[in-house]
């Protein structure tokens, strides 16, 4: 029995040695992981003083951990970590709320709220985007919760927050080197991506809004590459890669490059929601905020909505059909066609018949089977105000067929280009939103001194602000006129600056 006991004790001692070695290896790894321990000495507030009775009730390990503000804790903060927030009551309160939301997201604090959606991430990232001093506080809180965190699930969720943070804003230069070193020395697989995102944020600047729900869901599913579908006027669509640092300008350039456009100048991104009426906004997150205000939540649940991102031509002042064939085929034809059919342009019978023949060719190509049925779908070929006023349906059919026969051999795409070239000759080419058929007065953009809009009006001043002429339009589309005028003048100023730069060289 004694011999057996000695033999059986050897594996026990071996396992003990292995445990001690694993502990040393783990301690070594933890030692190599950078922490905010030294940074906290000069920048963190001192740990709270405890009463003697409370101190006696805590064991040495817990006392030491409570004193180390830079290390993971499941306890909510009663004061901000950073000393520079002391005495700033509003920001201090916000920092405490932010940390509590972090604990809830990481599962370190009980919460009725699910991690699904972006309610908790909004509480974490919205305040630092508004207040500069809170940026460092949030980064310190995240580094703290990722230091010596023994709960694997909590740590994984903490890295999700770090990934989102690095794509939203950067810490101050003073803290930047600490965060960079923290990310470089971490063995977590998300850390290198966080470091790359932080570098992009430093180059591109901070975001305006907290992470969108798509970004939150992406990192939760460990899918850091996000593809977003974009729709085009010709009813086609394409998926494009986006990330937190993708700017609208860069995204437009990527779309233009993939579609083979010669330039993305004048093009823009729009968001359309599936609702009564069409509402367009420049940013998906801005749309989300608008929805929240327009449709209050019920029982704390934000209403669900669907949206589509469109890429379309917005500014037409430099557009010349024929210069960019792909732009004519994908955008110019399909965006100008509805304006013609609604009767926005002033055109003759012959011009209308020629354009109708081109529209037919785009629809059916060389197929003549539908020519006899033209009277049934004149609304799809002719301006609405010309269909019944001037000619009978049969007479329109005769003229359209004659024009169609004059263009035998023309492809559908060639018909689109020819269509845009004909429309281009009219002074109302590229006009938007309004049934204006005749130009009464022209003012150059350089003479417009002021403009404003409201729910029921658009106001513009031409010339001197005091003695200049004022135009007041009663319209519900004032915001569209305001946005369009702003965009055109911005394009004009950009062009002028480029010309000055070229001349100076």
Note the pLDDT tens digit of each residue in 8-21. 445 444 544 554 45
- Which residues face 312 on adjacent strands? 268
Same domain, 99 and 155: yes
Same domain, 208 and 301: no
Q: 37, 70 in Cβ contact below 8 A?
A: yes
Cα separation, 147 vs 32, in Å, equals 12
Same domain, 284 and 239: yes
Torsion of CA 436, 437, 442, 443, to 10 degrees: 20
Residue 189 within any structural domain of the chain: yes
Helices and strands counted in the chain (H then E)? 19, 8
Tokens of 148: 């010596």
Residue 439 within any structural domain of the chain: no
Residues of the chain with pLDDT under 70: 1-31, 49-67, 113-116, 273-306, 432-437, 465
Give the CATH number for residue 333.
Answer: 1.20.80.10
Question: Which among 176, 201, 220 is the end of a domain?
Answer: 220
Cβ of 308: how many Cβ atoms within 10 Å?
13
Encode pLDDT of 45-64 as tens digits.
Answer: 988 766 555 545 545 554 45
Same domain, 38 and 18: no
The per-residue pLDDT for 2 is 37
Give the CATH number for residue 298.
Answer: 3.10.20.90
Tokens of 58: 């805590």
Same domain, 50 and 194: yes
The tally of domains found in the chain comes to 5
Tokens of 137: 């506080």
pTM for the full model? 0.66
Same domain, 203 and 62: yes
Same domain, 6 and 107: no
Same domain, 92 and 191: yes
Cα separation, 168 vs 122, in Å, equals 12
Residue 38 within any structural domain of the chain: yes
Residue 130 within any structural domain of the chain: yes
Residue 73 within any structural domain of the chain: yes
Buried b (16+ CB within 10 A) or exposed e, 108-128: beeeeeebeebbbbbbbbbbb
DSSP 8-state symbol, 210:
P
Angle CA(179)–CA(183)–CA(210) in degrees, nearest 5? 70
Q: What are phi and psi of 99, to 5 degrees?
A: -65, -35
Residue 54 within any structural domain of the chain: yes
User: How far lies 231's CA from each of 214, 248, 326, in Å?
Assistant: 18, 15, 15
The per-residue pLDDT for 461 is 86
Residue 454 within any structural domain of the chain: yes
Question: Which among 220, 243, 260 is the end of a domain?
Answer: 220
Question: Which among 220, 252, 268 is the end of a domain?
Answer: 220
Same domain, 93 and 136: yes
Same domain, 22 and 43: no
Residue 430 within any structural domain of the chain: no
- The residue range of the domain holding 396 is 329-424
Among 342, 338, 356, CA closest to 397: 356
Give the CATH number for residue 200.
Answer: 1.25.40.530
Same domain, 248 and 206: no
Tokens of 285: 């997150």
Same domain, 12 and 48: no
């Amino acid at each position: 029995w004694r011999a057996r006991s000695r033999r059986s004790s050897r594996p026990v001692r071996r396992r003990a040695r292995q445990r001690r070695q694993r502990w040393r290896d783990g301690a070594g790894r933890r030692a190599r992981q950078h922490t905010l321990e030294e940074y906290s000495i000069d920048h963190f507030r001192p740990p709270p003083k405890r009463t003697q009775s409370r101190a006696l009730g805590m064991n040495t390990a817990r006392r030491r951990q409570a004193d180390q503000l830079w290390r993971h804790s499941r306890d909510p903060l009663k004061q901000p970590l950073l000393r520079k927030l002391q005495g700033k009551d509003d920001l201090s309160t916000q920092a405490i709320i932010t940390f509590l939301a972090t604990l809830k997201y990481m599962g370190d604090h009980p919460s009725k709220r699910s991690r699904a959606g972006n309610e908790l991430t909004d509480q974490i990232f919205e305040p630092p985007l508004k207040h500069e001093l809170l940026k460092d506080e949030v980064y310190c809180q995240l580094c703290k919760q990722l230091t010596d965190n023994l709960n694997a699930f909590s740590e994984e969720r903490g890295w999700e927050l770090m990934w989102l943070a690095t794509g939203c804003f950067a810490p101050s230069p003073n803290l930047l080197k600490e965060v960079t070193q923290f990310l470089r020395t971490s063995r977590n697989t998300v850390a290198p991506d966080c470091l790359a995102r932080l570098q992009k944020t430093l180059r591109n600047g901070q975001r305006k809004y907290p992470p969108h729900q798509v970004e939150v869901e992406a990192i939760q599913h460990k899918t850091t590459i996000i593809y977003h579908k974009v729709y085009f006027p010709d009813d086609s669509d394409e998926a494009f890669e986006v990330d937190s640092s993708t700017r609208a300008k860069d995204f437009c350039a990527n779309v233009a490059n993939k579609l083979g456009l010669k330039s993305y100048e004048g093009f823009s991104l729009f968001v359309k929601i599936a609702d009564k009426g069409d509402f367009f906004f420049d940013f998906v997150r801005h749309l989300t905020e608008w929805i929240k205000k327009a449709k209050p939540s019920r029982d704390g649940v934000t209403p669900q909505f669907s949206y589509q991102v469109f890429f379309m031509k917005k500014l037409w002042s430099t557009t010349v059909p024929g210069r960019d064939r792909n732009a004519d085929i994908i955008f110019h034809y399909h965006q100008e066609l509805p304006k013609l059919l609604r009767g926005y342009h002033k055109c003759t019978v012959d011009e209308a018949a020629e354009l109708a023949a081109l529209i037919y060719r785009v629809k059916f190509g060389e197929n003549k089977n539908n020519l006899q049925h033209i009277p049934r779908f004149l609304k799809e070929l002719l301006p609405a105000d010309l269909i019944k006023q001037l000619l009978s349906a049969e007479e329109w059919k005769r003229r359209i067929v004659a024009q169609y026969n004059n263009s035998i051999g023309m492809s559908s795409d060639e018909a689109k280009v020819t269509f845009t070239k004909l429309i281009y000759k009219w002074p109302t080419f590229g006009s938007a939103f309004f049934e204006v058929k005749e130009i009464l007065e022209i003012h150059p953009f350089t003479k417009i001194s002021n403009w404003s809009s409201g729910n029921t009006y658009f106001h513009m001043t031409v010339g001197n602000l005091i003695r200049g002429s004022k135009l007041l339009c009663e319209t519900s589309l004032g915001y569209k006129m305001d946005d369009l005028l702003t965009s055109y003048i911005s394009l004009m100023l950009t062009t002028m600056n480029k010309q000055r730069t070229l001349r100076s060289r």
